[in-house]
Amino acid sequence: MNRMIFIATLLALFATSTSEGQDTESAAITSGTIMEAMVVTITPASDIIWGVEDPQTDEEWQVLDDAAVTLMETFEATRKGGGGPNDDAWASEAGFQVYIDQEMVALEQARAAIEARDLDGLFDAGGELYTPCEECHIDYNPAVSGEEF
């Protein structure tokens, strides 16, 4: 089930964050909004990280790494704005960028833990990821703070 969610998430990422001739690291969300990226890509991928139980196989660890990479790529795209009415204003604010920086550090920690097959390290990185996510929701979309999408 998680693998299917990941595949759908990855497909949605490429559909919403790139246009022809652009790579995901340099593209803003060109055909959607930051909120759509949250619902379609960020929430499902972060649920994979936060919902980790006890991965045993290389495939299970790969699903976790794929989710972390998806999050990193999507956060980089949201860093540049999107098509929503507030997206570019949010992306221009230093506080929004700080949250993305913090999320990226947490995801780098998550990827290191995944590579080391360190479940405790992955739990710690997931906790580090949660804080800037929740604080960003409080500042930029309080209606969803503490809720699932």
Count of the separate structural domains present in the chain = 1
Residue 146 lies in a domain: no
For residue 81, give the CATH number of its domain.
1.20.120
28 contacts 82 by C-beta, under 8 angstroms: yes
Residue 149 lies in a domain: no
pLDDT digits (tens, 9 = 90+) for 1-28: 444 444 344 434 444 333 333 344 445 5
130 contacts 110 by C-beta, under 8 angstroms: no
Looking at residue 141, its pLDDT comes to 84
The two three-digit tokens of residue 78, written as one number = 């949201």
Looking at residue 116, its pLDDT comes to 98
Range of the domain at 94: 2-140
Nearest by Cα to 14 from 1, 33, 27: 27
